Chain A
Amino acid sequence: MYDKTVRRRRAVLGLLVGCSLILLTAYFGEPAGGALHSVQRGILEVVSPIQEGASRALKPIRDLFGWVGDTVSAKGDLKDARKERDMWRATAIRNEAAAREADKLRGLVGLDRAPKSLAPYGPVTARVIGRSSTVWYGRIFIDKGSSSGIKRNYAVLGSDGDAQDGAGLIGRVESVTANAATVRLITDASMSVPARTVKTDASGDVKPKAGNPRDLILDYTNKNDPIGVGDPVVTAGTTSQRSDLTSVYPPDLPIGRVTRIDEPGSEDQEVHLAPFVDLQRVEFVQVLTKTVDGNR
């Protein structure tokens, strides 16, 4: 009797582990349009309205926890914020004058195609209805899908509610159903975004640092690039002249700001940036549904 119980237990355990391994192997072996991926999309389709309902219903509880956390951290931030505000106010005045001058010059040389706003990119606003909780997969779920014109690989912007630095690129659309989509965040281990610094035009690829959503790496920079702490980093857009090598991200979308440079001036220099958007606090996003001039 005892042996039978033990055998049965081991058989069930072996069967479950075997099933998991078969699923794992099959999932890796199939293309994005394969059966298991289709099942995932089907489940997402069914679950997303429930998720949306649950997300709305549980918002007061989230807000309560958020309020407690924000109150504690806000006290510490207030002093720094005031100092920064004064600095930015002075910078904004200088920038306003520079922008006016740049507009004139751009018009003169025929380069006035840079977008003044996101309107030409056909932004579609969506609500965040769910979030992946592991440190390995940076994904959120939004309540708009292909019925709103959203397709795979569209760039996604978000805001965490901060007036100044709290908006920017947060990721790209990974999979779409009729009324929902998943967004792979820039903090996902598999993401890489072509980017450049605004001040010095140093280019590289923005990649995540696993375990810390407030730290990104600007990889593949040149050791001679004059990058400084505090430099804003934006998307590079399409840099190739070939039409089949267009970037999925429009140019000049803000990503983050350089916080420190490890081993500067060496081949191994590592440029760290803090994303403009606190990805844990994003509630609404904008999906850019149109491409302007091949994202150049």
Chain B
Amino acid sequence: MPSATPQLLLRAAALGVAVVLIQVAAVSQVVLFGTNADLTPLVVAAVGLLCGSIPGALFGFGVGLFVDAALVQTMGLSSLVFIAAGYGAGRLRELRDPQAGVVPMVVGAAATAITTFGFGVMNFLLGIDAPVSFLLLRQILATIILNALIALPVFALVRRWLSPVLPEDPRRRRRRAYTTGGLSPLSRA
């Protein structure tokens, strides 16, 4: 887990505020395939993938709190589901550290699924009376697919924004050196 430098905290906070504002002011007003994309779970998952489980969960909590406050929703609801998304993405990185190019896409889709279904389940538990219909499921699925499609550029942007302040991960440095031919643990030995 990278240590949280002030620069990293600052950049993460700016990223969280910006993504919520862009989501509310622009993305949520653009309808594609009968639904709209939701950048927030994608960004939370991207931070989890880049920084690890605890930063991911903390970022998810913060973004969720801001979403609930800015959208006048039930406070704590989005925080709870975004914690799951950020923590899950972070744990995946810590346990498996997958390197395939499509990982952000898969993780983005999974994070969107966790947040949308989690949000739905929480709403039902809280007693918001809404019928479960095929249309509701269709809309959720459309959002997941749309988010999966835009996950790669979103992940690239988040990585570009955070990478200057991310501490170098020893595991990645070792792997990079090994795969590029130099500094193999064997040759060093």
Chain A positions within 8 Å of B116 at CB level:
134
With A and B bound together, what is the CA distance between A36 and B128 in angstroms? 20
Q: B7 an interface residue at 8 Å Cβ cutoff?
A: no
Q: B157 an interface residue at 8 Å Cβ cutoff?
A: no
Chain B positions within 8 Å of A174 at CB level:
72
- Provided the pairs A61-B26, A182-B72 are in contact, do residues A28 and B126 lie with their beta carbons within 8 angstroms? yes
With A and B bound together, what is the CA distance between A267 and B58 in angstroms? 51
Q: Is the CB of A28 within 8 A of B30?
A: no
State the main secondary structure of chain A at its contact with B: helix
How many residues of B are counted as interface, with CB atoms below 8 angstroms from the partner's CB atoms?
A: 54
Q: Which one of A18-26, A79-87, A106-114, A195-203 is at the B interface?
A: A18-26
Who on chain A is nearest to B74 by CB?
A27
Q: B83's contact among A8, A16, A39, A43, by CB below 8 Å, is which?
A: A16
State the main secondary structure of chain B at its contact with A: helix
Q: Is the CB of A139 within 8 A of B71?
A: yes
- Provided the pairs A28-B126, A54-B25, A189-B129 are in contact, do residues A65 and B139 lie with their beta carbons within 8 angstroms? no
Q: Is the CB of A54 within 8 A of B21?
A: yes
Residue with the greatest number of chain B CB neighbours at <10 A, chosen from A20, A26, A62 = A20
Q: Which one of B101-109, B130-138, B162-170, B173-181 is at the A interface?
A: B130-138
Q: B150 an interface residue at 8 Å Cβ cutoff?
A: no
Q: Which one of A89-97, A149-157, A205-213, A236-244 is at the B interface?
A: A205-213
Chain B positions within 8 Å of A136 at CB level:
119-120, 123, 128, 130
Q: B79's contact among A23, A40, A190, by CB below 8 Å, is which?
A: A23
The 0/1 profile, CB within 8 Å of B marked 1, for residues 128-140 of chain A is: 1111111111010
Q: B57 an interface residue at 8 Å Cβ cutoff?
A: yes
- Provided the pairs A58-B22, A130-B24, A139-B72 are in contact, do residues A215 and B135 lie with their beta carbons within 8 angstroms? yes
How far in angstroms is the closest Cβ of chain B from A190? 7
Q: B155 an interface residue at 8 Å Cβ cutoff?
A: no
- Provided the pairs A20-B83, A51-B25, A131-B28 are in contact, do residues A211 and B75 lie with their beta carbons within 8 angstroms? no
How far in angstroms is the closest Cβ of chain A from B155? 19
Who on chain A is nearest to B132 by CB?
A210
Q: A50 an interface residue at 8 Å Cβ cutoff?
A: yes
With A and B bound together, what is the CA distance between A190 and B126 in angstroms? 12
With A and B bound together, what is the CA distance between A154 and B8 in angstroms? 44
Q: Is the CB of A12 within 8 A of B58?
A: yes
Q: Is the CB of B57 within 8 A of A19?
A: no
Q: A280 an interface residue at 8 Å Cβ cutoff?
A: yes
List B residues at the A interface (Cβ < 8 Å).
Answer: 1, 21-32, 36, 38, 53-54, 57-58, 61, 64-66, 68-77, 79-80, 83, 87, 116, 119-120, 123, 126, 128-133, 135-140
Q: List 29 A-B contacts (CB under 8 A).
A: A16-B57, A19-B61, A20-B64, A20-B77, A20-B80, A40-B72, A44-B70, A47-B70, A54-B26, A55-B25, A58-B22, A65-B31, A69-B31, A128-B29, A130-B25, A130-B71, A131-B28, A133-B24, A133-B36, A134-B73, A136-B123, A137-B73, A139-B71, A174-B72, A189-B123, A211-B136, A211-B137, A211-B140, A215-B135
Top 4 nearest A-B pairs (CB, nearest first) are A211-B136, A23-B76, A133-B28, A210-B130
